[in-house]
Amino acid sequence: MKAAAPAQLRLLDLQAEDTAIAQLEHRKRALPEHAALVEARAVRGRLGEALVAARTRVADLQLDVEKAESDLVPVRERRVRDQQRVDSGAVTDPKQLNALLDEITHLGRRIADLEDVELEVMEELESATAEREKVAAELTEVENAMRALIASRDEQVAQLDADLATHQTARDGIVAELPADLVALYDRIRVRAGGVGAAPLRGRRCGGCQIEATPIALGAYAAAAPDEVLRCEECERVLVRIGAVDA
């Protein structure tokens, strides 16, 4: 393939823009905020599940407290009624009075047992409520951190996108100046060769693979016409002559 020497030199400018674009795209993909957000979302998911479980536990215990209180009400009311009967003197039969006093004693023990149950459930409810608030606070903290990460990511991505647009515009301008077949060759090689399609030939060394050309290859390079498009014998990239070829 043939292309004017200035066009070949311009390939190096095109390569510089493509390298800059590739670096910017890599920076976008490698922003630490991406990994941090993945981890934060996983933590948020776990905390969300824990919060649902904690809320369910609190709701269940609230029902248990209400049941414990409702169990106490009739027993307390019955003891009050029995005590009022005793205090009023309405029960005069000794046998009935003893039975009533025994029942009041029994009811007192029953109330004490039920109050112990209620107290235990209330303590569990207090602990579960504290755990619910703790998990909710942790979830809020993670969500706030995520919002900060998203803002930081978006700000950096916007700047990188602006830089990418600048380099893409410059690239488009260079491509418009060059022969289509030269650009097509360069692009095919660039895709195949890890993003570098053209490299300078300085002295004996290819700027792409950094390998020195053999004497035979150097002789061919030196003998080639200025408009001849050279290819590295090792990496096959387009070689752009910078100064005289050292044969």
Of 86 and 157, the one with more pLDDT: 157
Residue 223 has pLDDT above 80, yes or no: yes
pLDDT confidence tier of residue 244, bands split at 50, 70 and 90: low
| CATH number for region 31-177 | 1.10.287.1700
* pLDDT tens for each residue of 140-176: 999 999 999 999 999 999 999 999 999 999 999 999 9
Nearest to 48 by CA among 135, 145, 130: 135
Tell me the two tokens of residue 140. Answer: 């809020």
Tell me the two tokens of residue 44. Answer: 């948020």
Name residues whose C-beta falls within 8 Å of residue 6's C-beta, 6 or more positions apart in sequence: none
pLDDT confidence tier of residue 245, bands split at 50, 70 and 90: low
The full set of domain ranges for the chain reads: 5-19+179-241, 31-177
Report helix, strand and coil shares of the chain as percent, to nearest 5.
75, 5, 15
Q: What is the pLDDT of residue 247?
A: 58
C-alpha distances (whole Å) from 195 to each of 19, 83, 171, 178, 199 are 7, 96, 14, 19, 11
Mean pLDDT of 74-91: 91
Q: What is the pLDDT of residue 93?
A: 85
Tell me the two tokens of residue 191. Answer: 């895709």
Mean pLDDT of 194-212: 93
* pLDDT tens for each residue of 21-71: 999 999 999 999 999 999 999 999 999 999 999 999 999 999 999 999 999
Q: Which strands form 238-241's sheet, in the order they lie side by side?
A: 205-206, 198-202, 238-241, 230-231
